[in-house]
Structure 1
Amino acid sequence: MAQSGYGKRAVPAQHPARPDDFASLPLRERYIAAFVERLPEGAVMSVKALAKQIPLYGQQAVASAMTALSVAGHLRRVRCALVDGQGQVRWVFRTFWSRTAHDNEWWAEFLGSLTVVAPEVESVVAAPAPAPAPVEAPAASAVPAQRVADPEEGGRSTAYLALAELGRVDTRLALSHAHCVALEPLAEQWFARGVDVGYFVRTLTAGLPASVEAPFGFVRRRLGDKLPPVYRPAPERAGGVTHPAKVECVECGVPGPVDALPDGLCRGCREPAGADPQADPSGPRVRDRIAALRDLVKSS
């Protein structure tokens, strides 16, 4: 298995598995395609790793077969630059696989709309959302959470409830109902700047003096003095979403835009510089090989 976030990735729009999925391919490609199809999601897809697991073929044969499978529309190799919440950039390498052969237009559309999430948050995205705390507003509301009334608390806002929470965390800041109502507008400014209840309570209860003679005046002063700055995260960093994915040439590894590598091959590998088609009449040209593979896909 590859590191989390790397390796094999299945694509959508595939027909159900059938015994003759790869029957139109040559024997070697058919064998390796069937092997890759049975690998689990996230499996290592490097030529070296595959050759170690396939007894019939060495690295060179596996590399040639992977190129043929890319031309036939079964796979694309992709690299993605991930930007996490701290602005750190790193590369993730994936091989997208499909038992159903797709043409270049389909691959370009799929990879062009690809959204990549940092591997460390993938499991969080898939996990069920935890139950909200009593002071939180319902997630489905269309208005800002800090202004949504909680019906179980008599219609009180999150700001009011957070102020009431202060006395439960530390009795030195116990506020009355009238105090919470009076301070509510000041507290709402905090939630309008994106803080949550936990941050609000921790900040206001941190570093208290030994005794607080007037909790109302003390909290009112702190609400003004410790008001957090306005913060809006950069859009490109939200949720670990990255720059557009780049397709790697399956032959040489050169990256390029998703629509610039038809068949998963760069121009240099599709049309080698200085190649003489008459130099070896017995050997098929690269262009002829690609055309033959396309014909096999159309006839399947």
Structure 2
Amino acid sequence: MDTEQISAPSRAQYRVRRRVTAFGVIHVNAIHTSRFTIVGNHLAQHGALSLTAIGLAVHIQSLPDGAKVGIKVLADRFPESEARIAAALRELEAHSYLARTVERLPGGRVVTRTVSHNHPDAAAGSVPPAPEPPAEPERTPVPAEPPADAPEPPREAAPPPQPAPAPVPRRAPEPEPERAPEREAEPEREPAPAPAPAPLRPPLPQPLAPEIHRTAADLLAGLRRDDPRLILGETDVRRLAPAVAAWLERGITPETVRHTLTGGLPHPVRRPAALLAHRLTVHLPPRLPDLPPPEVVHPMHDCTGTCKRVIRAAEPGPCRDCRLAAEATRAEAA
């Protein structure tokens, strides 16, 4: 029994069992000694704020005083768009985690002041002050005992007893008013440029002779025979018929117009009337230039004068030389 057991452990092995769950989160925490921010669960587990607003509030609370937290600055810092960041800031304002005011500086410049509250009650100034540590009781110094061989000091007459002073109640120190963080001055935003007006659509071509409207209307109504997707209503047919008549007036045959309107259609055809109006307007051919009058070739005739030569003339008669000779003879006779 007195033999030492070499294989036995020298002391019991203690192991702290970690609770393992089949589901849910498991926290592995490390102690922060620098660069950390205290965030309350009222913000981290807020039931009415979006995740974007909660993350943005934590980011703003971690920034030092004077840091810029404008919408454009945050949009450059994070992948969220300016619209989502602006919506998150409005959520924080609605739940008293943020306050933004627009102020005009003496020089006329308009800036936005931003104040971040780490607790909703901080906006109304109703955060309870932190409890002060209890004051330590005052210790009365104990006089040192005189040595045994020291002569006993002469005894003085004891003073008459005096009434104990009434205790003075101590007032608790008033909490210092919490200083509001310095508000950030954001640069004035330039007004967004006005959107450019939409280009006006060119008007549909109009014919000069309205007699061919019936032919144009029949052509449009029959397009659904070539392609079932080109079904037009009566209103669209009446609106597009003058444009088709303008094509026919410029010498384009109905078959050519039908081929132009039905060839190479996209898939699917969502607005057939708008597609046909575009093609009739954009692909309208120009008018043909006027042709020069054809040269007239007169038939051959024999001169009826004295020369009897063959000449070209619209009607039979004397040639130019015979006419001049006859006129000279008449002038001499006169």
The answer to whether TM tops 0.5 is no
Bigger helix share: 1
Q: Higher relative CO (CA 8 A, sep ≥ 6), structure 1 or 2?
A: 1
The TM-score, its normalising length taken from structure 1, stands at 0.30
The TM-score, its normalising length taken from structure 2, stands at 0.27
> Which has the larger Rg?
2
